[in-house]
Amino acid sequence: MRSLPHAVALAAAIGLAAVGVIYGTYAAGGSDSSCYALLAGSFASGRLQPSSALVGEVPWPDAQKTFTPGGFAPSSTDPSAFAPVCAPGFSVLLAPVVKAGGPNALFYVTPLAGALLVWLTFLAGSALADSLAGAMAAVLVATSPVVLFQVVQPMNDVTTTALWMAVFVGLISGRFRLAGAACGIALLVRPNLLPLAAVAGLFVLRVDRRKVVPFALAALPCALAVLWLNANLYGSPFRSGYGSLGRLFGLAALPVNVVQYSRWLIETETVFLLLACAAPLVVDSPRRVSVWLAFGLATATCSVYFLYTPFDDWSYLRFLMPAITLLLVLASAATVAVARRVIEKGSGAFFQRLAVPGAVGLVAIGLGVMGVRTASERFAFAMHALEQRYRSAGVVVRDALPSDAVVLSVWDSGAVRFHGRKEALVWEGLDPAWLDRSLEWLRAHGRRPYILVESWEEPGFRSRFGDQSDVGKLDWPPKYEVDRVVRIYDPEDREPYHRGGRVNTEYRWPMLRK
């Protein structure tokens, strides 16, 4: 019976990793995912940031801007390069994986981080109460809708949460150097969670001030790495790709975020989270200092994002994942403690050994089923279908277009570079008067231009260029159509088509892992 909670936690960890592998998007196309993937590839090849040799050659204005893919901004430190909008630390962790296993290996990092998160949650719950509470917390984290939603995507949220759970487990177990190292890596991945490091430092100061220096020294290398990266990518150690702090944070966001995040939490995690408030009352006295640490870290996380720019989608609960995980640990510890007190009052020892695990198990199973159902309703298990167009379009660009192709794209510009291995010219930054001249210049210099747009982008392309360029009208059939969403046009097909020729559109369908 004692080994059962460990087996349950291990199964939950493996299960979450399996979800990430089986339902993973394997796509780098959105702003964040393409930012992490392209930057990781750049780091793996020994370069600080992605760049384009064409920037210094082309004659049109704002050349650097027109070659800057989604998720990046023109670099202020290198005129031919692009600085990431995302925090670069996650890509630092991905780089050795890409170096060893190739670009697609990075898609397995988040599922592995998910397994680590679940196991660390088990250790945290076991430390605050016992292994039964740890197993319950592990199951609830593994079935949390927002965790399931993020574990299938190549983003840093699951890794960030796992690192802060490592900090928490290290602190409450007295492994202060390990906690400090995890804290440093967590700040490298997401520097704006610096308030959590302050809470961790205050905890070390309270329990054993002699350990403050080892804790700080263990975190220092990664903290210095953050400053070095910022200086070399953005021109200042205290600047980031997201912009100024005053633009991102403000008290005006507080009431909006409190209402929205609270509603999303109740809708997805249920009122069970509120049981965390009972933890200081029912957890054994020697462990209550750890309970208050968990509350401190959770509060610090919420304080950061309650003041952050509001977003109108439930998936931004991903910002609160460190807090959600800690609250699930506290609620699980409180549940087990209350169950033991209630059942112990009117039953024998043998009944207690069966009734407490049985009652806790039923609650965990019920909440877990609800979590999986909610995640499914919110498309966590369909993200691979929703995101596959990036990968599929990139594969077509890579395999079907000539090696000298330059692809005019906006929304899929990151996918063109990462999956397609081709130059992406961002037409949104191109002066409308330069469309025809840019195509002519590319052909004259041995490059073959193509236009890649998603169906909903076509009106914007025509509106931008149609009055000044016949090519800008996009009034001929595409050469390729990918999953009925992405279309790839060859400008050289236009004149033959309008003279009566045919363009045989080739239809391509999802290629998730090719």
What is the SS3 assignment for 34-58? HHHHHHHHHHHCCCCCCECHHHHCC
User: Under 8 Å CB-to-CB from 152, ≥6 apart: which residues?
Assistant: 19, 20, 23, 24, 25, 110, 380, 381, 383, 384
488: three-class secondary structure by DSSP: strand
CA nearest neighbour of 421 among 57, 28, 124: 28
Confidence of residue 355 (pLDDT cuts 50, 70, 90): confident
Distance of CA 363 to the CA centre of its chain: 30
> Does residue 240 carry a pLDDT above 90?
no
Instruction: Work out the average pLDDT over 503-509.
Output: 92
Q: Which two tokens stand for residue 10?
A: 């291990």
Q: What is the pLDDT of residue 22?
A: 97
Distance CA 368, CA 16 (A): 12
As a whole number of Å, the CA-based R_g of the chain is 26
What is residue 243's predicted lDDT score, i.e. its pLDDT? 73
Position 350 scores a pLDDT of 57
Taking residues 282-310, what's their average pLDDT? 96
Say which residues have a Cβ less than 8 Å from residue 7's Cβ, sequence separation at least 6: none
Q: Which helix (H) or strand (E) holds 116?
A: helix 109-128
Q: What is the arithmetic mean of pLDDT over 135-157?
A: 98
pLDDT score recorded for residue 511: 61
| Banded pLDDT at 462 (limits 50, 70, 90) | very high
* 134: nearest Cα among 8, 296, 16, 11: 8
514 pLDDT exceeds 60?
no
- Looking at the predicted structure, is the pLDDT value of residue 2 above 70? no
pLDDT at 236 over 80: yes
pLDDT at 363: 96
Q: Where are the domains of the chain?
A: 4-28+105-378, 385-514
What is the rounded CA–CA span in Å between residue 248 and residue 236? 18
Is 30's pLDDT higher than 90?
Answer: no
3-state SS, residue 146 = helix
Which parts of 301-447 are beta strand (E)? 405-408, 423-425
Residue 505 DSSP symbol: P
**pLDDT over threshold 70, residue 396:** yes
User: How far is it, in rounded angstroms, from Cα 49 to Cα 41?
Assistant: 9
Instruction: Give the C-alpha distances (Å, rounded to integers) separating 371 from 43, 143, 266, 465, 494.
Output: 37, 5, 12, 47, 52
Nearest CA-CA partner of 277 in 212, 218, 327: 327
Give the burial string for 403-442 (b: 16+ CB within 10 Å, else e): eebbbbbbbbbbbbbbbbebbbbbbbbbeeebbeebbebb
The span from the CA of 272 to the CA of 365, in Å, is 13
Q: Write out pLDDT tens, residues 36-85.
A: 999 999 999 999 999 999 999 999 999 999 999 999 999 999 999 999 99
% helix, strand, coil for the chain, step of 5: 70, 5, 25
In angstroms, the CA 72 to CA 49 distance is 10
pLDDT at 513 over 70: no
pLDDT exceeding 70 applies to what percent of the chain? 96
405-408 β-sheet, strand order: 423-425, 405-408, 448-454, 486-489, 480-482, 506-508
